[in-house]
Amino acid sequence: MSEARRLAVLRAIVEDYVSTREPVGSKALVERHRLGVSPATVRNDMAVLEEEGLIAQPHTSAGRVPTDKGYRLFVDRLTEVKPMSSAERRAISRFLEGAHDLDDVITRSVRLLAQLTQQVAIVQYPSLVRSTVRHVELVSLTSTRVLLVLILSTGRVEQRVVELPEELAPESLADLRSRLNLAAVGQRLSDAASALGDLTEQVDAGERTHVALIGATLVEAMSQEASEGRVVVGGTANLARFGDGFDVAIKPLLEALEEHVVLLKLLGESTSPDAVTVRIGHEGPYQELATTSVVATGYGPGQEIVGSLGVVGPTHMDYPGSMAAVRAVARYVSTILDQA
């Protein structure tokens, strides 16, 4: 009863189940994989695997199905992230090369990821919190309303309307703008907010309320971001593929996909780049999504991480393939962010 063979059996079960979506039996196993032993032997191994909680049978006298724990062991110890073929690499870079815009990069990434994995893809916008200010612009809308435009190092552009309690002359607007830029450019958003706090005390009374208001707007933008983030979803149509086969409840998943807060939690916090996180079934934070898994990773210029992206699909998904795709796309996005 070799340990190695038992793991080989587990791997075979996972692979077969993923491709057929049907409980796999001992006989079918030895036929499709060259295990070199008889079905009876495999049955013995299966009994052990079941005892260890790695596989289960839906009903007595049915084939075996991997449990979440089984998938976990599979991805942790039985899987190499398979490198993408050079054709795939080329397709990816061609697909992302044409983007001239952060929005463009994000929307293309999400499409690409969905297409590569045939699953639902999620891409988070670069977090505001981790960006630095590249430029601040004030545009007067009416005499008491100003549009605050923030251009950030990650390419994000945020806008907020600021209502002023009193009129603001065009000259003081220009003055304010240059002061703002002086104080904020190069800073992280949180630092910028406090820098504005300092600024408040330097300017004369007339401008003081304006600076304070703008600072408040910055803080508010950040807190909103922190709670809601900003995410884009794609490949929802792929749900229909396995939604037909009903193994996954699509309703809760569709609901989750509408709630950005939920999605952010699903993606989770990736710490180091190149480390692909896999969360399987019940390991996730939501009970309703106990039959879905998430494969995600962080991206960002250099070693820094400014956002996450990943895919979500049924627990019986193609983990090696998904992990490879997620990693590859994250790398390309990071490269692009690096250049910008």
Residues of this chain that interact with DNA (CB under 7 A) are: 1-2, 5, 23-28, 37-41, 43-44, 46-47, 50, 57, 59-64
Residue 70 or 126: the one with the smaller Cβ distance to its own copies is: 126
> Secondary structure of the chain: what % helix, strand, coil (to 5)?
55, 20, 30
Q: Is 151 in the site for its own copies (CB under 8 A)?
A: yes
For residues 164, 166, 167 and 170, what is the CA-based torsion angle, rounded to 10 degrees? -60
β-pair partners for 121: 234, 311
219 binds its own copies (CB under 8 A): no
Report the nearest approach of DNA to the CB of residue 7 (Å).
13
- Give the contact letters, 254-293, x = binds to its own copies (CB under 8 A), - = no: xx-xx-----------------------------------
CB of 169 to its own copies, least distance (A): 17
Nearest approach, Cβ of residue 36 and DNA (Å)? 7
* 244 near its own copies, rule: CB under 8 A: yes
- Please, what is the minimum distance in Å from the beta carbon of residue 33 to DNA? 14
Nearer to its own copies, 7 or 157 (CB): 157
Strands 120-124 and 65-66: unpaired
Q: Distance of alpha carbon 10 from its chain centroid, rounded?
A: 29
Output 187 or 236, the one with its CB closest to its own copies.
236
Q: Is 250 in the site for its own copies (CB under 8 A)?
A: yes
**Residue 154 C-beta: closest distance to its own copies, Å:** 12
With H, G, I as helix, E, B as strand and everything else as coil, classify residue 143: coil
Least distance between DNA and beta carbon 48 (Å): 10
Cβ-contact 161, 171 below 8 angstroms? no
Give the pairing of strands 292-299 and 307-314: antiparallel
CB 144, min distance to its own copies, A = 13
The half-sphere exposure of 89 on its side-chain side, counting CA atoms within 13 A, is: 6
Q: Is 178 in the site for its own copies (CB under 8 A)?
A: no
Q: Say whether residue 189 binds its own copies (CB under 8 A).
A: no
d(CA 37, CA 35): 6
User: Which is nearest to 294 in space by CA: 83, 127, 124?
Assistant: 124
Q: At what angle do helices 319-339 and 86-97 cross, to 10 degrees?
A: 40
Give the span between the Cα atoms of 234 and 329, in whole angstroms.
14
Distance of CA 312 to the CA centre of its chain: 9
Task: Please count the other Cβ atoms lying within 10 Å of the Cβ belonging to residue 165.
Answer: 9
- The item of its own copies, DNA, none sharing an interface with residue 50, based on CB under 5 to 8 Å by kind, is DNA
Of residues 63 and 70, the one with the C-beta less far from DNA = 63
What are the structure tokens assigned to 277, written together?
């996180």
Given a contact cutoff of 8 angstroms between Cβ atoms, the answer to whether 331 and 310 are in contact is no
For position 112 contacting its own copies by CB under 8 A, the verdict is no
Binding of its own copies by 161 (CB under 8 A): yes
134 binding partner (options DNA, its own copies, none; Cβ < 5 to 8 Å by kind): its own copies
Selection from DNA, its own copies, none that 141 binds (CB < 5 to 8 A by kind) is its own copies
Cα–Cα–Cα angle for 24, 28, 32, rounded to 5 degrees: 110
Shortest Cβ 51–DNA spacing (Å): 9
Binding residues vs its own copies (CB under 8 A): 100-103, 134-135, 137, 139, 141, 147, 149, 151, 157, 159-161, 234-237, 239-241, 243-244, 250-251, 254-255, 257-258, 340
